Structure 1
């Protein structure tokens, strides 16, 4: 890359590279400097395969130039991205594309519902499990003492009962940022966006159950959301080193408070044009399907003028038409009607 493109860290090409190493230091007001640094052992991306067709969908994603520019601005400024668009336009896929291209590990996906709370995103403490284990251990130790005169009735470490959530794991002091996908934030309770502000601004949070421990228990090993090991938390405080790449998606079903909006960089994902749809179909189903199903793409574009249609609906329709099963013309027409039914059409 030369000229005006030199500043781009994320290029939106789907080709992995180590451009994250060129990311300059953050602005002074976005420096967090958490530590000591941790390098947790990460598990597999359990949701990526189900939702994105393994890694191919993330690799084949092609972002508009405007989207690429705003993503890079967020990387430079260490700010969250609020990505708005109609269902099926690739809002969530953008997070997977960033993680894939920049080699940032599995995406931490936090799906939001009306019952989601900030604490659920940060950590979970299993107090009941700890109490039950302590009781069993004490009873077992008493039995051993009676039988052989030995045994250990000391309670298990509290760290066994603390698991960081997706947001909490993203805030660990890691060398490279993790990608955090907060999916469908517009479905949340009205207070959640404001509750997120302090974590995003301060880059840290506390686990009260750990801050109350005595000095000889100032370091506690806790579990993380998607890894196979434990990480050390010092005096109950988690402070990030590299601010995570936060992607919040919204279907545009609600407005957000100004205090929340001014801390995010906003992207509006537009519906893809014919050329972009052709690239999507070719990437997922092969170049040969584009010529075979040109009429299906034409119908999709026509129907989209009067109703909301998702890219997945087009891919489903084309796959059915090219998968080997060849229904009769009348049946094929009915199936296309069903598969390409607008999302905003609720009645029969």
Structure 2
């Protein structure tokens, strides 16, 4: 199951680390201050997901990069329109005469629209952008698929949904057969919906479809991160289309209800509004995040109380 940790303290800018258990692979959502983020964790980050490039969500990119340079790995960066130019500008602002061209590779995925993702590469020491291709999906690896929606924050603000891939488990006690390579063959046939596949077990040949009852599909965990967004109908329709019935969603809750006028002016959300939309999405668990730096611990408690009252309707 995917695990997420908020790496920013109260009054620090937001950064969330998502971990794949038993893999050593991490993803990072936004690059705000992150006092709780360790160097080892940074070096395990294979992909960075930027909601938007306001300073409180992007200021720590250089600090993240500093601990990745020299790894020789490819790191994917996903973000809104012009993210490729902004990353390029950050990297070109330093001098790299001592860095080898194989020290690291960045692949930047610029979200132009729901179906248009531009792919760029950036390599040291000159960091010259190269457009590779355009694709219609954002991110997939052996562990997750990442869906997204583009919200309005007076600029594009990308909300991400990490969908853990489904797994197929074998009911060993109910089979009556000895273990063998036939189990993996059966799982492959099941995943490919190939019921006519012949599976040999202990000298007898079976049709895969006759053995599918021994398998169970386990739905992958869905974890969402919704950063800055205005409280409006269009945003909420987009959120419901992507995050409905998610297992866990972290959602921006920048203001107290008593400050919702400021939320409107600054295109942010407030406590009960974020709680209500999570209730409408019927997510299993929701956590309010990214509070205004003006707030104290007691203010945070007030926000959380209003949020959960709206979310749980109690």
TM-score under structure 1 length normalisation: 0.25
TM-score for the superposition, normalised by structure 2: 0.26
Largest Rg, 1 or 2: 1
Instruction: Looking at secondary structure, tell me which structure has more helix per residue.
Output: 1
